[in-house]
């Protein structure tokens, strides 16, 4: 099995203060790089993880309140076109909890955060992310027919397999991945945010305002990506799921 890229060894306090955790996160965002997962035991993980969770919650809700408040002041109501409201009303709360706090985080972290640590198999997952999440939107925007879309998907999948099975091409992409990791990290982050535009339907907003709708998801991707690299993919899934569960509880309480 191909080994992942060597992590950057960073000495870190196993029981950091909130300020130390926030500064470490900020330094990472300024220059994303492979990190050594130092906190493996649950008793060592919970403190910095909780600090990141609280920071993420405050930032996401605060920025979301500002963005959506300004959009409403401009006379638009994006929540009216959000699919989640109807999903909550039409389904059993336990089913919603399972979908939102368990299944969705696991799938999203697998496709968008697992490839952040390079191996050849994760490179293939990165290609699948493009095929399943980006390509359909592009084909729909270009109004490509169903038959031609299926052909393009098949060609893209075959191209991904062709690249991954070649030692030379996989080695080249590994080198590129290592050299351009900040670009890799922010590409996955931006795409993750933009994919969530699919949660809206029949948007009647100026095109310049539409990306603002997914700024909270973009912020989330920054945190989940850091947690995935600093701790592990499992902790990224757990954090993502808990955050969604908290938002779900708030949504039910305010309905």
pTM of the model: 0.85
Question: What are the sequence ranges of the domains in the chain?
Answer: 43-253
Please compute the mean of the pLDDT values over residues 72-81 and round it to a whole number: 78
10 phi, psi to nearest 5 deg: -125, 125
Task: Give the C-alpha separation, 78 to 200, whole Å.
Answer: 8
Instruction: Please say if the pLDDT value at position 230 is more than 50.
Output: yes
In eight-state DSSP terms, residue 82 is B
Q: What is the pLDDT of residue 10?
A: 47
CB neighbour class for 102 (10 Å; exposed up to 12, middle 13-18, buried from 19): middle
238, two tokens = 């757990």
Instruction: Please say if the pLDDT value at position 40 is more than 70.
Output: no
Angle at the Cα of 147 from the Cα atoms of 142 and 152, rounded to 5 degrees = 65
Please compute the mean of the pLDDT values over residues 3-30 and round it to a whole number: 74
Q: What is the pLDDT of residue 234?
A: 92
Q: What pLDDT band is residue 140 in, cutting at 50, 70 and 90?
A: confident
Q: What is the pLDDT of residue 2?
A: 47
Q: What is the pLDDT of residue 77?
A: 79
Ordered DSSP codes for 118-141: --HHHHHHHHHHIIIIIHHHHHHH
């Amino acid at each position: 099995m191909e080994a992942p890229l060597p992590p950057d060894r960073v000495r870190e306090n196993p029981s950091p203060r909130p300020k130390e955790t926030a500064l470490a996160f900020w330094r990472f965002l300024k220059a994303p790089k492979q990190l050594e997962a130092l906190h493996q035991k649950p008793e060592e993980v919970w403190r910095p993880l909780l600090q990141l969770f609280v920071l993420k919650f405050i930032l996401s809700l605060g920025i979301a309140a500002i963005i959506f408040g300004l959009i409403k002041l401009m006379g638009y109501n994006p929540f009216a076109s959000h699919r989640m409201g109807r999903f909550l009303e039409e389904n059993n709360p336990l089913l919603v909890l399972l979908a939102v706090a368990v299944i969705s985080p696991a799938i999203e972290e697998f496709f968008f955060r697992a490839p952040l640590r390079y191996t050849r198999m994760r490179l293939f997952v990165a290609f699948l992310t493009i095929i399943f999440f980006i390509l359909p939107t592009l084909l729909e925007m270009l109004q490509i027919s169903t038959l031609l879309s299926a052909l393009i998907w098949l060609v893209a999948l075959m191209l991904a397999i062709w690249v991954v099975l070649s030692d030379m091409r996989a080695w080249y992409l590994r080198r590129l991945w290592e050299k351009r990791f900040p670009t890799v990290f922010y590409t996955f982050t931006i795409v993750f945010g933009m994919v969530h535009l699919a949660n809206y339907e029949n948007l009647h907003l100026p095109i310049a305002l539409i990306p603002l709708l997914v700024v909270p998801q973009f912020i989330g991707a920054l945190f989940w990506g850091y947690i995935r690299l600093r701790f592990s993919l499992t902790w990224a899934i757990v954090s993502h799921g808990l955050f969604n569960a908290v938002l779900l509880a708030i949504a039910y309480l305010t309905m």
